[in-house]
Amino acid sequence: MSNEFVAGAGFVALFALMLLRVPIGVAMGLVGIFGFGAVVGTGPALNLLAQSPISTITDFNLTLIPFFVLMGVLATNSGMSAELFRAGRAWLGGLKGGLGLASVGACAGFAAICGSSVATAATMTKIAYPEMKKAGYSDEVSTGIIAAGGTLGILIPPSVVLAVYGFITEQDIGLLFVAGIVPGILAVLMYMATVRLWYGDSLPAGDRFSLIEAFRSLRGVWAVGLLFIAVIMSIYFGVVTATEAAAAGALLTAIIGMVRGQLSLSRLLESLVEALRTSVAIYVVLIGATLFGYFLAITQVPQELTQFLIDLGAGRYGTLLLILLMFVIMGCFLDAMAMVILMVPIVFPVITELGFDPIWFGVIIVMTVELGLITPPVGMNVFVINSITPGVSLPAIFRGVMPFVAVDVLRLLLLIAFPAIVLFLPSGMH
């Protein structure tokens, strides 16, 4: 059998298994083993199973994944989101559309301690949606704002998806996190501008707060500031490794939650279990991806794809846009994390061959998969909001989020045109 045939058959089998609901990691693992076996023999292929899965689950560099997941779960279960929204409302609520602005701000603050978009959207739906509804916002607008704001979870560091990208491409996770800061701030500003400019004066103003009250509201958000500084700044200044920062962040979140009486022992135990479940699901995909990597290496798919795309003559940016388009299309069907783990090893050689910066590409890819969280047919954030607010239909939420999708595309193009926006901060890193 030729390598081309094995590669083609492998990808057909992979997509067929995934469509038939076989866990993505298992589908990748099986195709990896049998594809590798078709070229080099069954014995050596099966022997990969003796080494590779154990190496993956005992890889020290990957331990930061459960820690960041745990930090996010603890932050969610400690009720920190309510204080963020309260502070946002105190500062911005008096403006027209102020509650929408406060929701975006609170999502951003929460994203700074939680690396999950879905958790950010779910938590903010609980806090912000009832307030916006009470103030007279339509369901379409309020849920659209929250769904879009939720996507900040995987962009603003610490981001679990960025961490996994760093592991797969062997890039410094600290650099990736720092690179996500400015695009994250840009996303917040552009979302806020969308609330103001798109909906304009049609949105009502909320209660006005005095300056003293506004400053008082900041007392509730010190924990978020402390956690962000502890994790991101310590990585930026090289005080600790990313893994240590993740562990310290998780421990601090637990301590803060317990000291403030918002995290009981049973809730802490639930959080640990929840973090474990989420982390194991990610690890299974990583195990599969490692096995799939042997298949890619032996069939030389990435090299063939690189050559094919370069031969198309679409130029650097044309090729990049083709790749991003592929991610957007796949985002309609695949989970963001799974998509990064499956597709990045295949397209990464193309990106480096074309001379793009791997750190910049990590941020671009995360922003691209973000789109999949709020666009049909999967749109995970939209589904989660719908499950919490069953009275609001899915089409209504999708309609509400569309202006933000347009802004996301605009932001993506901006960062492609001006990579320095992403890279100037990490380039000054210690």
Partner 1 sequence: MSGPERDSRSLSGIILFIERIAGIVLGLVTVLIVISAVGRYIFASPVPDTFDVSRLVLGVAIAWGLASLGFHGTHIKVDLLAHALPRGARNAVNFFAWLVLLGFTLLLVWKIWERVQAAMSGGDATMELRLAHWPFFLGIWLGIVAAVFTTIVRLWLIARSGRDLGEYDGIDEHLLEDIKKS
Site for partner 1 in 240-269 (CB under 8 A): 240-241, 243-244, 247-248, 250-251, 254, 268-269
Distance of CA 44 to the CA centre of its chain: 36
Residues 212-241 that bind partner 1 (CB under 8 A): 239-241
Q: Which two tokens stand for residue 421?
A: 């926006």
Distances (CA, A) of 404 to 42, 150, 195, 241: 50, 11, 9, 35
Rounded-to-integer distance, Cα 301 and Cα 395, Å: 39
Rounded-to-integer distance, Cα 341 and Cα 159, Å: 14
- The answer to whether 276 contacts partner 1 (rule: CB under 8 A) is yes
Give the torsion sign (CA, 222, 226, 229, 231): negative
Nearer to partner 1, 143 or 279 (CB): 279
Rounded-to-integer distance, Cα 394 and Cα 402, Å: 13
CB of 99 to partner 1, least distance (A): 19
Residues 8-67 that bind partner 1 (CB under 8 A): 17-27, 29-30, 33, 46-47, 49-51, 53-54, 57-60, 63, 66-67
Residues 271 and 77: beta-carbon distance below 8 Å = yes
Nearer to partner 1, 33 or 179 (CB): 33
3-state secondary structure 37-71: HHHHCHHHHHHHHHHHHHHHHCCHHHHHHHHHHHH
CB of 170 to partner 1, least distance (A): 18
Residue with tokens 């929840």: 274
Rounded-to-integer distance, Cα 249 and Cα 228, Å: 8
CB of 288 to partner 1, least distance (A): 9
- The answer to whether 394 contacts partner 1 (rule: CB under 8 A) is no
CB of 225 to partner 1, least distance (A): 20
Residues 370 and 154: beta-carbon distance below 8 Å = yes
Give the torsion sign (CA, 192, 154, 108, 275): positive
CB of 248 to partner 1, least distance (A): 5
CB of 284 to partner 1, least distance (A): 6
CB of 410 to partner 1, least distance (A): 26
- The answer to whether 284 contacts partner 1 (rule: CB under 8 A) is yes
Residues 309-348 that bind partner 1 (CB under 8 A): 333-335, 337-338
CB of 395 to partner 1, least distance (A): 17
∠ CA 331-334-338, rounded to 5°: 110
Q: Per-residue string for binding with partner 1, 364-393, x by CB under 8 A?
A: -------------xx-x--xx--xx-----
Residues 160-219 that bind partner 1 (CB under 8 A): none
Binding-site member from 6, 285, 298, 423 for partner 1 (CB under 8 A)? 285
Scanning 193-201, 211-219, 281-289, 302-310 for contacts with partner 1 by CB under 8 A, the matching segment is 281-289
DSSP label at residue 219: G
Nearer to partner 1, 43 or 313 (CB): 43
Give the torsion sign (CA, 316, 317, 319, 320): positive
Nearer to partner 1, 70 or 178 (CB): 70
CB of 75 to partner 1, least distance (A): 12
CB of 409 to partner 1, least distance (A): 23
Give the torsion sign (CA, 332, 336, 342, 344): positive
DSSP label at residue 205: B
Nearer to partner 1, 98 or 345 (CB): 345
Nearer to partner 1, 334 or 374 (CB): 334
- The answer to whether 70 contacts partner 1 (rule: CB under 8 A) is yes
Q: Annotate 317-348 with DSSP letters as a single string.
A: HHHHHHHHHHHHHHTTTS-HHHHHHHHHHHHH
Nearer to partner 1, 51 or 427 (CB): 51
Residues 79-118 that bind partner 1 (CB under 8 A): 116-118
Nearer to partner 1, 351 or 397 (CB): 397
The DSSP H or E segment spanning 411 is helix 394-417
Report residue 142: phi and psi, to 5°.
-65, -45
